[in-house]
Protein backbone atom coordinates (compact mmCIF):
# COMPACT_ATOMS: atom_id res chain seq x y z
CA UNK A 1 0.00 0.00 0.00
CA UNK A 2 1.55 3.29 -1.13
CA UNK A 3 -0.50 6.35 -0.37
CA UNK A 4 0.12 10.07 -0.77
CA UNK A 5 -1.80 12.60 1.33
CA UNK A 6 -2.57 15.86 -0.45
CA UNK A 7 -4.26 18.93 0.99
CA UNK A 8 -3.72 22.45 2.25
CA UNK A 9 -1.67 23.16 5.38
CA UNK A 10 -3.85 22.14 8.30
CA UNK A 11 -6.27 20.09 6.20
CA UNK A 12 -5.64 17.07 8.43
CA UNK A 13 -3.07 15.18 6.34
CA UNK A 14 -0.96 14.30 9.37
CA UNK A 15 -3.95 13.35 11.54
CA UNK A 16 -5.27 10.95 8.91
CA UNK A 17 -1.87 9.66 7.77
CA UNK A 18 -1.11 8.50 11.31
CA UNK A 19 -4.34 6.55 11.45
CA UNK A 20 -3.78 4.95 8.04
CA UNK A 21 -0.25 3.99 9.12
CA UNK A 22 -1.57 2.39 12.33
CA UNK A 23 -4.38 0.51 10.58
CA UNK A 24 -2.23 -0.86 7.75
CA UNK A 25 0.98 -1.26 9.78
CA UNK A 26 3.06 0.86 7.43
CA UNK A 27 5.31 3.87 8.17
CA UNK A 28 3.95 7.42 8.22
CA UNK A 29 6.51 9.59 6.48
CA UNK A 30 6.06 13.33 6.94
CA UNK A 31 8.75 15.53 5.41
CA UNK A 32 7.63 18.32 7.74
CA UNK A 33 8.17 16.05 10.77
CA UNK A 34 11.60 15.01 9.48
CA UNK A 35 12.60 18.68 9.09
CA UNK A 36 11.27 19.53 12.57
CA UNK A 37 13.22 16.62 14.08
CA UNK A 38 16.36 17.96 12.35
CA UNK A 39 15.70 21.46 13.67
CA UNK A 40 15.24 20.10 17.17
CA UNK A 41 18.51 18.19 17.08
CA UNK A 42 20.33 21.13 15.46
CA UNK A 43 21.59 19.44 12.27
CA UNK A 44 22.77 21.55 9.34
CA UNK A 45 19.80 20.28 7.29
CA UNK A 46 17.50 21.47 10.07
CA UNK A 47 19.13 24.89 10.29
CA UNK A 48 18.83 25.39 6.55
CA UNK A 49 15.21 24.17 6.41
CA UNK A 50 14.14 26.35 9.35
CA UNK A 51 14.84 29.57 7.44
CA UNK A 52 12.32 28.59 4.78
CA UNK A 53 9.75 26.99 7.07
CA UNK A 54 9.50 29.97 9.41
CA UNK A 55 8.67 32.18 6.43
CA UNK A 56 6.00 29.76 5.20
CA UNK A 57 8.06 28.93 2.11
CA UNK A 58 8.88 25.50 0.73
CA UNK A 59 12.29 24.03 1.47
CA UNK A 60 14.16 23.74 -1.87
CA UNK A 61 13.73 20.46 -3.76
CA UNK A 62 17.50 19.73 -3.58
CA UNK A 63 17.25 19.35 0.20
CA UNK A 64 13.90 17.59 0.25
CA UNK A 65 14.06 15.01 -2.52
CA UNK A 66 17.19 13.14 -1.45
CA UNK A 67 16.01 13.01 2.15
CA UNK A 68 12.70 11.46 1.05
CA UNK A 69 14.24 8.96 -1.38
CA UNK A 70 16.65 7.81 1.36
CA UNK A 71 13.74 7.33 3.72
CA UNK A 72 11.52 5.29 1.37
CA UNK A 73 14.42 3.01 0.42
CA UNK A 74 14.67 1.78 4.03
CA UNK A 75 13.67 -1.76 4.95
CA UNK A 76 10.45 -0.80 6.80
CA UNK A 77 9.03 0.71 3.58
CA UNK A 78 9.01 -2.57 1.64
CA UNK A 79 5.29 -3.20 2.24
CA UNK A 80 4.34 0.42 1.60
CA UNK A 81 4.05 3.79 3.30
CA UNK A 82 1.91 6.89 3.71
CA UNK A 83 3.58 10.07 2.45
CA UNK A 84 2.41 13.23 4.20
CA UNK A 85 3.62 16.54 2.79
CA UNK A 86 5.54 15.00 -0.10
CA UNK A 87 5.37 15.54 -3.03
CA UNK A 88 4.57 19.22 -2.82
CA UNK A 89 5.70 20.39 -6.24
CA UNK A 90 5.47 18.89 -9.72
CA UNK A 91 9.26 18.30 -9.86
CA UNK A 92 9.04 16.37 -6.56
CA UNK A 93 6.20 14.25 -7.96
CA UNK A 94 8.24 13.52 -11.07
CA UNK A 95 11.27 12.42 -9.06
CA UNK A 96 9.10 10.09 -6.98
CA UNK A 97 7.42 8.70 -10.09
CA UNK A 98 10.79 8.03 -11.72
CA UNK A 99 12.16 6.30 -8.62
CA UNK A 100 9.07 4.07 -8.36
CA UNK A 101 8.99 3.31 -12.09
CA UNK A 102 12.58 2.08 -11.87
CA UNK A 103 11.37 -0.39 -9.24
CA UNK A 104 8.39 -1.32 -11.49
CA UNK A 105 6.18 0.12 -8.80
CA UNK A 106 3.67 2.97 -8.48
CA UNK A 107 1.48 4.92 -6.06
CA UNK A 108 -1.88 3.27 -5.27
CA UNK A 109 -3.80 6.37 -4.17
CA UNK A 110 -3.32 10.10 -3.77
CA UNK A 111 -5.90 11.13 -1.16
CA UNK A 112 -6.86 14.80 -1.33
CA UNK A 113 -8.17 16.02 2.04
CA UNK A 114 -10.27 18.95 0.89
CA UNK A 115 -10.73 21.88 3.32
CA UNK A 116 -11.48 25.47 2.23
CA UNK A 117 -8.97 28.18 3.20
CA UNK A 118 -11.49 29.87 5.50
CA UNK A 119 -11.44 26.90 7.90
CA UNK A 120 -7.67 26.65 8.05
CA UNK A 121 -6.46 29.55 10.19
CA UNK A 122 -8.55 28.61 13.24
CA UNK A 123 -7.46 24.99 12.99
CA UNK A 124 -3.81 26.01 13.03
CA UNK A 125 -4.12 28.38 15.98
CA UNK A 126 -5.50 25.53 18.12
CA UNK A 127 -3.06 22.87 16.97
CA UNK A 128 -0.53 21.41 19.40
CA UNK A 129 2.20 19.11 18.16
CA UNK A 130 4.55 16.59 19.69
CA UNK A 131 8.07 16.89 18.28
CA UNK A 132 9.05 13.48 19.66
CA UNK A 133 6.47 11.19 18.04
CA UNK A 134 4.72 13.50 15.57
CA UNK A 135 1.27 13.21 17.19
CA UNK A 136 -1.03 16.16 16.58
CA UNK A 137 -3.75 17.55 18.85
CA UNK A 138 -6.19 20.43 18.80
CA UNK A 139 -7.15 22.33 21.93
CA UNK A 140 -10.82 22.15 20.94
CA UNK A 141 -11.31 19.33 18.41
CA UNK A 142 -8.75 16.77 19.64
CA UNK A 143 -7.39 17.69 23.09
CA UNK A 144 -4.68 15.62 24.77
CA UNK A 145 -5.72 13.92 28.02
CA UNK A 146 -3.40 16.12 30.05
CA UNK A 147 -3.03 19.68 28.78
CA UNK A 148 0.30 20.27 27.05
CA UNK A 149 1.48 16.64 27.33
CA UNK A 150 1.50 14.01 24.55
CA UNK A 151 -0.81 11.03 25.22
CA UNK A 152 1.49 8.68 23.31
CA UNK A 153 4.96 9.54 24.60
CA UNK A 154 4.38 11.99 27.48
CA UNK A 155 6.64 14.67 25.99
CA UNK A 156 5.63 18.36 26.09
CA UNK A 157 3.41 19.63 23.26
CA UNK A 158 4.36 22.75 21.34
CA UNK A 159 2.73 25.39 19.18
CA UNK A 160 4.57 25.21 15.86
CA UNK A 161 6.63 28.29 14.89
CA UNK A 162 4.92 28.38 11.49
CA UNK A 163 1.35 28.36 12.88
CA UNK A 164 1.17 32.14 13.41
CA UNK A 165 -1.75 33.54 11.35
CA UNK A 166 0.54 35.58 9.00
CA UNK A 167 2.71 32.55 8.26
CA UNK A 168 -0.36 30.36 7.74
CA UNK A 169 -1.66 32.85 5.17
CA UNK A 170 1.69 32.69 3.35
CA UNK A 171 1.68 28.87 3.47
CA UNK A 172 -1.80 28.85 1.92
CA UNK A 173 -0.57 31.08 -0.93
CA UNK A 174 2.39 28.79 -1.52
CA UNK A 175 0.05 25.80 -1.45
CA UNK A 176 -2.19 27.28 -4.14
CA UNK A 177 0.75 28.20 -6.37
CA UNK A 178 3.03 25.20 -6.03
CA UNK A 179 1.11 22.22 -4.64
CA UNK A 180 -2.41 22.48 -6.09
CA UNK A 181 -1.16 21.49 -9.60
CA UNK A 182 -0.58 18.01 -8.12
CA UNK A 183 -4.36 17.48 -8.03
CA UNK A 184 -4.34 17.55 -11.82
CA UNK A 185 -1.16 15.50 -12.01
CA UNK A 186 -2.59 12.61 -9.97
CA UNK A 187 -6.04 12.90 -11.57
CA UNK A 188 -4.36 12.25 -14.92
CA UNK A 189 -2.62 9.22 -13.42
CA UNK A 190 -6.05 7.93 -12.33
CA UNK A 191 -5.16 7.65 -8.62
CA UNK A 192 -6.66 10.83 -7.14
CA UNK A 193 -9.48 10.45 -4.63
CA UNK A 194 -10.98 13.42 -2.76
CA UNK A 195 -12.52 13.35 0.71
CA UNK A 196 -14.41 16.14 2.46
CA UNK A 197 -11.95 17.22 5.17
CA UNK A 198 -14.44 19.50 6.92
CA UNK A 199 -16.25 16.51 8.43
CA UNK A 200 -15.18 15.37 11.90
CA UNK A 201 -11.95 13.39 12.06
CA UNK A 202 -13.72 10.05 12.50
CA UNK A 203 -15.88 10.59 9.40
CA UNK A 204 -12.89 11.68 7.34
CA UNK A 205 -11.09 8.49 8.35
CA UNK A 206 -14.11 6.33 7.45
CA UNK A 207 -14.20 7.92 3.99
CA UNK A 208 -10.48 7.22 3.52
CA UNK A 209 -10.77 3.60 4.68
CA UNK A 210 -13.62 3.06 2.21
CA UNK A 211 -11.35 4.30 -0.59
CA UNK A 212 -8.28 2.31 0.43
CA UNK A 213 -10.26 -0.87 0.94
CA UNK A 214 -12.16 -0.16 -2.30
Q: Which of 13, 19, 36, 128 is catalytic?
A: 13
Cα 135 versus chain centre, distance: 12
Catalytic residue from among 88, 123, 128, 193: 88
Alpha helix segments (H runs only) across the chain: 13-24, 31-40, 44-53, 61-72, 90-102, 117-126, 165-174, 181-188, 201-213
Name 16's Cβ contacts closer than 8 Å, sequence gap at least 6.
Answer: 5, 111, 113, 201, 204, 205, 208
Touching Mg ion, residues 3-62 (CB under 5 A): 14
195 three-state secondary structure: strand
Closest CA to 36 of 155, 177, 169, 181: 155
Residues in contact with 14: Cβ distance below 8 Å, sequence separation at least 6, in sequence order: 5, 28, 30, 32, 33, 84, 85, 134, 136
Contact status: 80 vs ligand AP5 (CB under 6 A):
no
The answer to whether 128 is a known catalytic residue is no
Among 28, 31, 72, 207, binds ligand AP5 (CB under 6 A): 31
> C-beta of 30: minimal distance to Mg ion in Å?
6
Q: Give how far the C-alpha of residue 69 lies from the chain's centroid of Cα atoms, to the nearest Å.
A: 16
Active-site residue flag, 66: no
Q: How far is the CB of 119 from ligand AP5 (least distance, A)?
A: 8
Q: Between 80 and 167, name the residue whose CB sits nearer to ligand AP5.
A: 167
Which residue among 9, 21, 107, 193 contacts ligand AP5 (CB under 6 A)? Answer: 9
Interface residue with ligand AP5 among 15, 38, 144, 207 (CB under 6 A) is: 15
Does 171 participate in catalysis according to the annotation?
A: yes
Active site residues: 13, 88, 127, 160, 171
- Residues lying near ligand AP5 in the complex (CB under 6 A) are found at 7, 9-15, 30-32, 35, 52-53, 57-59, 64, 85-86, 88, 92, 123, 126-127, 136-138, 141-142, 162, 171, 197, 200-201, 204
Amino acid sequence: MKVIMLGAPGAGKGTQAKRIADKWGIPHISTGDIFRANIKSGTSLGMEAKGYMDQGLLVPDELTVKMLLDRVSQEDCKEGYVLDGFPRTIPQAEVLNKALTELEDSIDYAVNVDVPDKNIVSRMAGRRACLSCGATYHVEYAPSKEEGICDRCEQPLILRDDDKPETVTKRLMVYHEQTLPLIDYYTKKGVLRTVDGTQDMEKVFESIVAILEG
